[in-house]
Structure 1
């Protein structure tokens, strides 16, 4: 899943020479017996500083291996990876969006890494990364880093209203606080009508899902009672603000909206706070974060876990060295450093404390414990391309019959998933 830079990072500037995929002429023999591992990482997934530190540290620990990184753009990456997997000249390690792994695994182009889970600390991987990294019972993607949405709020407006954000541990308290914030000229929340990732969280909280599978066939599930309750809560929350009912968080950019007025809350990755401050520097020091509340105080709200997995192409020239690279990058030492450097959620629940001093990342880490992913099937890509969920949300928010609109959207999801499989 593509994510913008989450917090405090600048655009990635490559500090090393880039090259194309692996080539045997660059490996053992020419490098004095050293093997070159070719790695594709995505734009903005790491900073130049972190990349340099990791590569130098890795090569010092493994003097027999050189690392060569090529940064890839998110635009068109699916087709590029598909082509690489079908070739005889694939890189050794590829960073893939967690929701993309099933598509690549379904093509037969990835190595099955199921037998390496134990040595890669698979017992406490975030399920929102590990789940999408598996396909048909086999593990192809190794969790790399995670990100999810939290509530970004104005601390000054909360203080003025006498609201303690730490107390908002249930949906009921969240609704009550947002209602109170609307008094005195404040807009309690800005929630656009088509923020479907937030809707998905509410649906999961109710025990529903976007689609379900039975006997190898996928079916849209927005028309189930559970999913309809999730949409009902979304509509209740959205009505407490003035967000457009027919667009998502990018139209208009919600960070700009929050920067311009008296908006008390938005649902965003923590990086959204940086965008707010860029648009209105006077808000520096006035933004805070808390996990999206759940139905009960003991469980945070369910969230969509975005982020990346690391995969090894079946055509990789150096699979053993690739696994050594992955083991280091996803191990304790470098996961902690990555989380701090990039304000990410580490790939394992037991490492959440490493971001305790980062308010945004620590709020994400709480939510990540209840992280979910979109349906784990190659056919989901066709759903996101059409995205009938957005049209469904707008239809309900503008007065349409929820059950009828949900049935139509579910039928569209069913068609798209099975035609795209």
Structure 2
């Protein structure tokens, strides 16, 4: 989900996060007020000022009103808004990319397929943002921005181990991490239940977390491909002292890394700010590289978090809302937003906007191989219970992978079936 993957990224820009409940354009001259719900912290005041001035200059009959929402409890609030009428319903809503299926199931979203194909160059979008926004061939969510995990590493520990350049494939990554896992240092700190990282390894092997469509989904952690992904996770996780029965927040992996004896963690680049805050001596000593793939040809697959923009069918100003979405997703404003907020823009060809930002550039390189969780409206139920986490712990503690995967897959199937 977007609110989880971006937790570290948002920390990097928290100093410019927006406060309050709303932001009304200063001109107040428009005949039509387009109301846009944005998540708190998604865009800075400076960006919105610039966008609003330019947009209202081009559309002198339109006034923009931004209202900011909290991620906590946003699902029911959006579903309620989609059922509203006219002034009770915003014209544009920012939603987590993996939430679109849930909202589309309500029947309250406008079909944006024509705009996506005709005006926005949908064929070039990042798959991890575009795919979750498309339900049964209908584009309901327009990609806005992305973030994903990279490897954050301690440059001093790499130098001490004689490693001059970051690894480019899995085999080299394991070899380097084995060298780093010595002399009282951890080669990598990888918690046993970091299932988003596992998902990337499974996708690299050609597997899936679940497969299906039209409400008929089956958990597939027990496929040969998915089992190979778990096997690699176990091999990598063993090269450090990460707990087998906890996720990356228990304890926070940034706190562990800040102690100075961990060579690598897998997180969003924004986590570096938290690390340096906890240990100022590490400032300037952190590096970034994309999660390595099976070959040097491309980075590994990663879970893409981020936001899509949707237009409620019952909004009072649907057409005006669509026009605002088109502007926010356009190449000009994608570059501006990415640079201002250290995000990955919605098209790989726009990544040059953030090439001067080492961490964001590494994130953008990995985003080209980004994926999203299964596009089922019930996937939120899977994450709420999350049978993947105990499955991972069981395997890391030595239980039979095939048996544990079969059991977890059956539970995933049941949850996706609504039972």
Q: TM-score, normalised by structure 2?
A: 0.95
Task: Name the residue aligned to 1:158.
Answer: 158
Q: Distance in 2 between the 1:312 and 1:215 partners? A: 23
Q: Distance in 1 between the 2:20 and 2:398 partners? A: 55
Q: 1:45 aligns with which of 12, 21, 42?
A: 42
Q: Distance in 2 between the 1:181 and 1:34 partners? A: 63
Task: Name the residue aligned to 2:251.
Answer: 252
Q: Distance in 2 between the 1:283 and 1:216 partners? A: 48
Q: Distance in 2 between the 1:142 and 1:336 partners? A: 16
Q: CA 1:228–1:15 in structure 2 vs 1: closer, same or farther (change >3 Å)?
A: closer
Provide, for residues 271-303 of structure 1, a one-character-per-residue CA deviation record: whole Å limited to 9, x for no partner. 111110010011000001000000010021000
Per-residue deviation at 1:8?
Answer: 3.1
Q: Structure 2: which 5+ runs fail to align?
A: none
Q: Which runs of structure 2 are paired with 1:145-294 in the superposition (5 Å)? A: 145-166=145-166, 168-213=167-212, 216-294=215-293
- Are 1:61 and 2:65 counterparts? no
Per-residue deviation at 1:413?
Answer: 0.2
- Are 1:388 and 2:387 counterparts? yes
- Are 1:75 and 2:69 counterparts? no
Q: Distance in 2 between the 1:205 and 1:272 partners? A: 25
Which SS does the other structure have where 1:288 is aligned? strand
Q: Aligned residue pairs: how many?
A: 410
Which SS does the other structure have where 2:132 is aligned? coil
Q: Is the 8 A contact 1:165 1:290 kept in 2?
A: no
Q: Distance in 1 between the 2:39 and 2:174 partners? A: 38
Per-residue deviation at 1:18?
Answer: 1.9
Which SS does the other structure have where 2:22 is aligned? coil
Provide, for residues 229-285 of structure 1, a one-character-per-residue CA deviation record: whole Å limited to 9, x for no partner. 000000000000000011111110000000013100000000111110010011000
Q: Distance in 1 between the 2:412 and 2:126 partners? A: 27
Q: Is the 8 A contact 1:11 1:44 kept in 2?
A: no
Q: Is the 8 A contact 2:168 2:296 kept in 1?
A: yes
Q: Distance in 2 between the 1:286 and 1:334 partners? A: 32
Per-residue deviation at 1:62?
Answer: 1.9
Q: Which runs of structure 2 are paired with 1:104-123 in the superposition (5 Å)? A: 104-117=103-116, 118-123=118-123
Which SS does the other structure have where 1:404 is aligned? helix
RMSD: 1.7
Provide, for residues 289-345 of structure 1, a one-character-per-residue CA deviation record: whole Å limited to 9, x for no partner. 000000010021000000000000011111111111111111111111111111110
Q: Distance in 2 between the 1:13 and 1:367 partners? A: 25
Q: Distance in 2 between the 1:19 and 1:49 partners? A: 12
Q: Distance in 1 between the 2:165 and 2:134 partners? A: 37
Q: CA 1:270–1:189 in structure 2 vs 1: closer, same or farther (change >3 Å)?
A: same
Per-residue deviation at 1:52?
Answer: 2.1
Which SS does the other structure have where 1:419 is aligned? coil
Q: Distance in 2 between the 1:164 and 1:248 partners? A: 30
Which SS does the other structure have where 2:203 is aligned? helix
Q: Is the 8 A contact 2:17 2:42 kept in 1?
A: no
Q: Distance in 2 between the 1:50 and 1:67 partners? A: 14
Per-residue deviation at 1:215?
Answer: 6.9
Task: Name the residue aligned to 1:4.
Answer: 7
Q: Which runs of structure 2 are paired with 1:326-365 in the superposition (5 Å)? A: 326-365=325-364
Q: Distance in 2 between the 1:161 and 1:338 partners? A: 38
Provide, for residues 28-75 of structure 1, a one-character-per-residue CA deviation record: whole Å limited to 9, x for no partner. xxx666210000000111122222222222222222211100110000
Q: Distance in 1 between the 2:21 and 2:294 partners? A: 50
Per-residue deviation at 1:14?
Answer: 3.8
- Are 1:36 and 2:33 counterparts? yes
Q: Distance in 2 between the 1:193 and 1:15 partners? A: 36
- Runs of 4+ in structure 1 off by over 6 angstroms are none
Task: Name the residue aligned to 2:84.
Answer: 87
- Are 1:18 and 2:22 counterparts? yes
Q: Distance in 2 between the 1:157 and 1:337 partners? A: 35
